[in-house]
Structure 1
């Protein structure tokens, strides 16, 4: 199965596949038919080319190998050391471009004095073909040729560099940092010298380029350092002047720099005083609240008469001493009261002493309460004084903070200027030390050695290529000559028509259809080829299955009516019923093909009065419906609506219905009626139908969106065939079937 068939079965557009592929059998057949032409063209090209190849001079090649982009990876970068680095294709291509540049070629030519090399000197003195032709023309016309303008040394060097660039190849495989420089000359020593000189000049060029870039950077940095130093000085002066003008006396509290920044924390004396006074005020307020709370307890005890129970009173030494005396006197009074009467002087003295001690205790207790009240007043006075001091400091700090906004801005500018200045100083020092230590960042892997033998030209390969090329030209000429021939002569040619699939080929019919399809008729190659086509339409791929088949052709006389009746007759051989509808109203001929009159036959089925007549059993199982009588001329095309009603009427009674329509290039009947059928079969006469005519017919069918099932190559002769057609018909003769 060829590419067109595969495309058709897969649902792809058949014309695309056909336009891209040609049958190998067709190619070999065309070459065989025109083998003398192929031989003459092949020998006519390959012999002179072989002689020219034999005269080619040998050349020698030498290669030097470089590795570019080599940098030492720091050992601390473990991941970069262990993982493979990606090849920087852009960087490698850049180095390859440098090696291929005219500057490198000119430097090599100058260094090796190639202007005086015999190979290049002869090339410079060689007269071009155009100049020789012009000199010949001037000689023929009897005029002296114009004198050649001598080249200057610079022009000779430039021309030598251009020739050298054509003799040197610089390659990189795209997967590594390796660059190979290959020189090809007629002298082995020159090849090695040129390859090595390219590497040396490249290293010098890269080194000088890096040194020049370093010195340029150093000069630019030197120019920028002076204004940066002046900018830093002015910024620091502005900071100090602003601080002095606003009285911002700072106290530095050093902080260790951390991950988030850090450095010196700047605060003023007022800030520190305010912080200290706030701490004292907080302590004083706590003491005041404590004394106020104790004072409230004293007042409550005074109201309740329980001052003596206060902890301060109980803990006072004087109170304790007086209470001891009071207890002793109370005990003495109690003893005297038991022995003496109330008027006893001693008893009265003892009672008076007890009262005196009691009064002393009261006075001491009152003094302690007064002391607590005085402590509250003192604490209140201290808190008020501290509050006034804090308020004053807050006003001072607020004023200083407002000034600090401008100070911080000036300090930020000074810090930024300091960072930039230090960075430039570091860069300047670095470039100054590195200017003399530049390396080309490339290594020479191997130097070019003098080749031991010539590298080319590969004469055998060139001769083989020349022979194949001339053979291809001869084959192409044979195919062109073969394609010029008109008429389709093989199924491969039929497949090459866009949108057409070859259903099969049918040999020429001999003896009429009755001979092959009447009862008892012997089978033949004609019948079997028709049967093969019918099998595809009945049992093949869903792409080809059809019950209602429209048969047409591109031009008249291609055997479409005979094929339509034969297809129906093969259906009858399978004990089925087939109907042939003769839709060629201008020239109905289906009945004439089977040797029957064209008068209307049996009309027992309900027919449209305008549909003509139905003739039954013209062949076993075959009925023919003629839609227009033969004697009616200039009949109009059968309307699709009328055909639809006829098909709906007859379809239940037949296993296959074949429509015989006029040629598609002459009349639109087939394209219009194809919408009412399952598909179209194009009939092509062997050796008569031109591919262009068939392609035009297919274009018309596609314009009407007709479903083309395939094409059939009819009236194929038993002789004059080639390739698969000859083998296919030969198989039938092996089975004893007649092929004609």
Structure 2
């Protein structure tokens, strides 16, 4: 079997995977096409929604009747006395009107309504009196029939020790009545509408009129109570202010009697006296400074100056004459000059001392006068504050006393701020609005169906059409193979033989033609069948392709390249062999002894073989390459079934020696990311995927998704060409 090695065809670089452009716009035609293909789903959900809507509108919903009572807000009313009311009426501001609307639906007012009409005995508002619904009975049966019925939906939490059963019943009833009551304001008017919606038209009118009457009475009661509270409060406050006024009057008298200066005028006179004393003190300080300067000058001249400077500086006539006599040399003149100088010095010292004493006396008088002024000023200010506080208290007392008299006059004169404009008449039918429910149900059903169709179309990760597969991968789709109707693997060969004109077999023939014509100049001889993951139809494709190639009267060899799992023998009527591909590669056994034949198919079969060596290392060896080159001289076509690409690297390694790689993608199952990654792995070893096969197509599914009328074997006009 030795033969010259055949030169492998040069592999061209694999095309780059197309990248989706950023910012792709929504294809409205594709969107409309998806909705049209899912029209039956949309119609089904629309019909289901209409059925549910009709069941609710005509069979479940309880008819309701609404009655309305109108109240007019009184903007003006005649005053009985010409005095400002202690309790003002309702303001016409929007916030005040909205407040009144909430007062109408307040719990306190509704409790009075429930008590007046005895609504706790009405099953419509007291859910505990209603018989259990069908759903509640069903739940009771599911729980065993002995469990108590669940509390109604509007029931409050289970009462504790602080809430009696009667209070709990009242809370539950008030909540139900509140949901049946509405209060609105007519736009740009001062008219309130009180509405009640119940299952009885007369009951609705009765509740609306009763609530309007209670609201008007509540306004009167609130005003009367406010007046009583105001009188009580004003009375207490007047008594307190009277006592406080008397206390402050006594305090003012006491302070005035204890003060020397009690008026501002007297305080001003004291201030004038203080300023005069300050002026005298300033003059005395100036005179004292002059005497001190004269004394210092005399003493300085006596110590350091000459006789002429001393005479000129002192300017004393006697001293001047003695200086002249001394200059003439008169005897005894020097002693007289010294005595006169000492006398002048003593006089200057005495004058400075007297002036200092006078200044000190004036300073003491000024300090006493200033202290007295400060004391009297603080006392006058305090007295003024007390008098202002007294006047304020007197004014407040007189105001409260006047308001007390006015409020006492208002007793019993309160009027409501609203009046009944029109009483409620028996209610009119308001719900359920059957036509609206049906229209809304139809709209929601169509919307839900559209969402289901779009989600199934755009969120699904698998491939349903060859166009999408080719567009995403940039590779040609060589074939579309339907799912074959077999239950076990060993039924595949019988189906291939018994149904030669079935859509699946015709699809295999189309695949065979596409593969053989993929390279016209050098038709492929070694064909590799690959897929991303197990169960995507690559083994079925390899066997079917080998079967079809053998129908061309060609020598065909089917090789099991998946030596790890080894499942190929399960498809044939042959025993599992202990030796196979590995033994043939190593030459341990002759190839003719290892080849197997199924009587139903004219194809040589070489099964895989377990080995202790790593499978990737085995297929990477030169021995495997040489083995394939030998097989080329003995067979027209060699079909190799490989392991999944994303699980082990065997298929990528074997693709280096193959002439064509046929990649299977399971219809509506294999994710786009898996297909992209598997093709990328082939590209990473510079192997080119010849083409893709969309396998295991469900014809009913194609028609269900709206593609049946577009793709050959799955269209209505293609059925006449096939024999299933």
Shorter-normalised TM range: 0.3 to 0.5
TM-score by length of 2: 0.43
TM-score by length of 1: 0.43
